[in-house]
């Protein structure tokens, strides 16, 4: 697994289409939580929603051959199930296919929801 010095370096290492979608995901996450700390978890970009946030307090993103993935948390997937119905999902992951725009407003809403849960 490659080691990256920054989220920028990780995104720049991706093919052009994946990089563009990852930048859109990153923008939507940082729009929702401007002070999110960029870090790495499992070798992929992570955004800590609280200071020194551990895995369950992070949103992660990654690039793949046919999609980009976002890992918000199972509670977020459950809450936004209807709005995510057109995407492939796992218990805690969402796949955004190449060739389609990232739903940035929805992503920001999901991230704010997760941040609010962590603040309680």
The CA distances from residue 119 to 24, 51, 53, 60, 96, in Å, are 25, 11, 12, 19, 28
pLDDT attached to residue 1:
60
What residues are paired with 46 via a beta bridge?
Answer: 39, 60
All structural domains of the chain, each given as residue ranges with its CATH number in brackets, are: 18-119 (3.90.1150.200)
Average of per-residue pLDDT values in the chain: 96
Report the DSSP beta bridge partners of residue 88. Answer: 95
* pLDDT tens digits, one per residue of 90-114: 999 999 999 999 999 999 999 999 9
List pLDDT tens digits, range 53-86.
Answer: 999 999 999 999 999 999 999 999 999 999 999 9
**Separation CA 27–CA 45 (nearest Å):** 13
Confidence of residue 120 (pLDDT cuts 50, 70, 90): confident
Name the phi and psi angles at 64, rounded to 5. Answer: -135, 175
What's this model's pTM, rounded to 2 decimal places?
0.95
Reply yes or no on whether the pLDDT at 2 is more than 80.
no
Residues 6+ apart with CB under 8 A from 57: 48, 49, 50, 118
């Amino acid at each position: 697994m490659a080691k990256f010095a920054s989220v920028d370096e990780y995104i720049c290492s991706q093919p052009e289409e994946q990089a563009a979608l990852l930048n859109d995901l990153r923008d939507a996450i940082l729009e929702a939580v401007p002070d999110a700390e960029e870090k790495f978890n499992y070798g992929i970009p992570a955004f800590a929603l609280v200071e020194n946030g551990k895995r369950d307090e992070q949103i992660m993103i990654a690039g793949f051959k046919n999609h980009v993935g976002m890992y918000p948390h199972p509670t977020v997937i459950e809450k936004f199930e209807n709005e995510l119905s057109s995407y492939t999902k796992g218990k805690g992951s969402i796949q955004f296919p190449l060739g389609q725009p990232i739903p940035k407003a929805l992503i920001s809403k999901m991230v704010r929801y997760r941040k609010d849960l962590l603040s309680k």
